[in-house]
Amino acid sequence: MNTEYFRVTSIRFHSNRHVIFMGIPLKKNSYKMHSGKYTVSVKACPDSLPVSPAIGQHWEVKGVKTFSEYENNGYVMTQHVFDSPIEAKCSLPEIGEQLIKFIANEKDFIGIGESKARRLWNALGNDFHHLAKKDTTESRSRLSGLLSEESINALYKGYAKYANLSACNWMSNHHIPSSIQQRLLKHHNEKSITAIKENPYLLIGFGMSFEDADRLGVTIFDRDEDEPKRLSAALEIAIRKQIELGHTYTTQNELKPKLAALLKDQELCAKSFKAGHHKAQYVLNHQLGTYHPTAQLLMENVVAKRLNKLARQNNLYDENANSAYCFAVEQLPYELTQKQTEAVITCLDNAVSSITGGAGTGKTTVLRTALRAYHHLGYEIHAVALSGRAAMRLHESIGFITSTIAKLLRDAPIEPSNEQPKHLLVIDEASMIDLPTMYRLVNHLHPEVRIIFTGDPDQLPPIGCGKVLADIVLSNTIANTMLDIVKRQEGSTGIPEYSKQINQGLVPESLSSGAVYFHEIPKHRIANVCCELYEESPYNSRVMAPTKKLVQDINNQIQDVVNEHGEQLKFNLHGDEFHVKLRINDQILFTQNLYDKGINNGSLGELTSVTSTEGSFGEVTLDTGDKVEITQQVLDGMELGYAITLHKAQGSQFPRVIIALQKGRIVDRAWLYTAITRAENEIHIVGSSEDFKSIIQSPSNSNKRNSYLYEMLRM
């Protein structure tokens, strides 16, 4: 085991997954080893470090050390390399030049350069740390003669990062990830270590696994196996796993196997239910024998109450509404069907309503007409969708301003005012809305705001728990118009008819029909054929696959075929050149939310520049037309996007869709139906006809979701 103390002199690389930083040793006589000088280099996962490395910091690392040599200005240097050290501690320089240079280089001390930092040290000396740690009136008064108010604020803001440095070092030493540390510190501040020692299982609430928390609890802090805190933590994990499957309630039979896997003892499993009850982790429905997680039950209650209150506001279709309806209908170049007319009037007659139906049934026409009528009545229209691409499509369809739900929730709550007393919220692709999102939405709206849901409840259920739209439709307490007639028009693709059959559990007589093409392919050839089909029409196509691994395989193959010679994205950091497996003209998928840059998780674009400038490695043009500079933060969330998972595609449509059909846990009728409805003009299904038929004829997994919202809407 080796130990090194060093001062950071450069950050060679920093991403979400890896960080490489270097420095010079601080031990006496450590600059000399045999005949040459040496440096220290650390490679680690950022989550394993107590703080983000910065130039000027002092570090102590322990672990296995390897040696390498490199040339620097004609000198042969020896590098001591620690790859994933077992222990890493950070400290601030305490005195003099090192402290001055640290403050000047640390980006968190905004606006404090070397001259200001030197002025502080010369004036304050050893009192500096004491003053910088405590933001008091007295401390600010002493600093005011040396720094402007703006610089004083920057000093305290920068120092706040290091306020709990000893606690971070302690937690890192106990293998608590940095991301969990930061969440814990926000809640417990300087009392974080005390809180962990009192109850190590509280870390589960901040994202730690039960096994890791249990290692701390039983092994490090010698907690008893039957301690109530341990047992309730195990129950929390078991319940959480059910919620992750989409359920909002569960049963004892579903929980017991998960508890047994964690606690390895049947008696302890029984005791965990008692511990969870005392902690109010769930509410037991004695009549049904169901266990309802407290948070989910609360959310269902709030959502149901709001929707039911709006549902009682009906019979609103008066003379003004009729006049607005006539105005809206006059704008149409064609007549509405009887069902479409009924749907528009229903929207105007009720404070909350829904328009549902499959592809090609006329939902967009109904919504556009209803919104024109509402606008004529003086309502401000707030139209939202889950993804940026879906919001853009919605805008193109209805002609009103649209946004993502995430943006709406960041804006001010929607409330009536003297200037604008009437508001209407439209939620498009509502089948994608999970219970927590719906809960946040209703809390963001004034109770008088009207709501219209649109969507297809038979599509893939939300990623999160619940199935809000499906429950609304099933409850029959919210006014809903189901549009179920697919109008076949001249030159139609036949896709709506094909998808309707699949949704009904019927295998199409002809697997290839109209603009739908079925390719009988063995499993090991699916990726190859998807690649060949993409190559036929690369600018119009998108591949959809069920697993991340298959998506990755297809992406790599397509890139090698259609963009083999594209210039590679590369960048320089501190003299070293790094390459990324992305090339100019590649299709790009974003996997992180960066709202300030107009990027959502699932945003798509094209890599249109790989020319580096100061602070940027290139440029991506989003499918919205907006351009985004590639910073390190943006780069961390970029992947190839020729092929994507269906969840990333929900709410979007593409001219030509290629479906990689592979039987598996998540591939069911709803998955296949949703994938087919993503296509505007042409579908290619690649896989086994036997698997295809089996998937269609089996019930969808979404039908197995436990959701109590349905019952609450009917109360």
32 confidence band (pLDDT: 50, 70, 90)? very low
> For 549-552, which contacts have Cβ atoms below 8 Å and span 24 or more sequence positions?
550/526, 550/643, 550/660, 550/662, 551/643, 551/644, 551/645, 552/640
If you average pLDDT over every residue of the chain, what do you get?
89
Residue range 665-688: mean pLDDT, rounded: 94
Q: Are 66 and 41 in contact (CB under 8 A)?
A: no
Pairing of strands 576-583, 587-590: unpaired
**pLDDT value at 610 more than 60:** yes
Structure tokens at 472: 């609304």
**DSSP symbol at 523:** G
Residue range 537-548: mean pLDDT, rounded: 95
Structure tokens at 297: 């039950």
Q: Are 616 and 622 in contact (CB under 8 A)?
A: no
What is the C-alpha to C-alpha distance for residues 683 and 654, in angstroms, rounded to an integer?
Answer: 10
DSSP, collapsed to helix, strand or coil, labels residue 161 as: coil
CB atoms within 10 A of CB 278: 11
Structure tokens at 167: 């606690």
What is the C-alpha to C-alpha distance for residues 688 and 220, in angstroms, rounded to an integer?
Answer: 53
Per-residue model confidence (pLDDT) at position 447: 96
Residue range 263-299, pLDDT digits in tens: 999 999 999 999 999 999 999 999 999 999 999 999 9
DSSP, collapsed to helix, strand or coil, labels residue 24 as: strand
Residues in the chain: 715
Q: Please identify which residue in the block is written with the tokens 């960041």.
A: 410
Q: Are 448 and 418 in contact (CB under 8 A)?
A: no
**pLDDT value at 33 more than 50:** no
- Compare 573 and 645 and report the one with higher pLDDT: 645
**HSE value, Cβ hemisphere, 13 Å, CA-based, for 40:** 28
**pLDDT value at 308 more than 80:** yes
Kindly state the percentage of the chain with pLDDT values over 90. 61
What is the C-alpha to C-alpha distance for residues 292 and 370, in angstroms, rounded to an integer?
Answer: 38
> Looking at the DSSP assignment, which residues form a beta bridge with residue 326?
none
Kindly report the pTM of this predicted structure.
0.85
Number of DSSP helices (H) and strands (E) in the chain, helices first: 28, 28
> Looking at the DSSP assignment, which residues form a beta bridge with residue 70?
77
**pLDDT value at 481 more than 90:** yes
Residue range 575-604: mean pLDDT, rounded: 84
DSSP, collapsed to helix, strand or coil, labels residue 653 as: coil
611 residue type, one letter: T
69 confidence band (pLDDT: 50, 70, 90)? confident
Going by C-alpha positions, the residue among 445, 373, 450, 380 that lies closest to residue 419 is 380
Q: Which of 258-272, 350-364, 494-508, 585-599 has the lowest mean pLDDT?
A: 585-599
Q: Are 649 and 542 in contact (CB under 8 A)?
A: yes
Residues 6+ apart with CB under 8 A from 149: none
Structure tokens at 513: 């029909």
Going by C-alpha positions, the residue among 164, 22, 19, 185 that lies closest to residue 91 is 164
Residue range 80-107, pLDDT digits in tens: 999 999 999 988 787 777 788 788 777 7
DSSP string, 292-307: EEHHHHHHHHHHHHHH
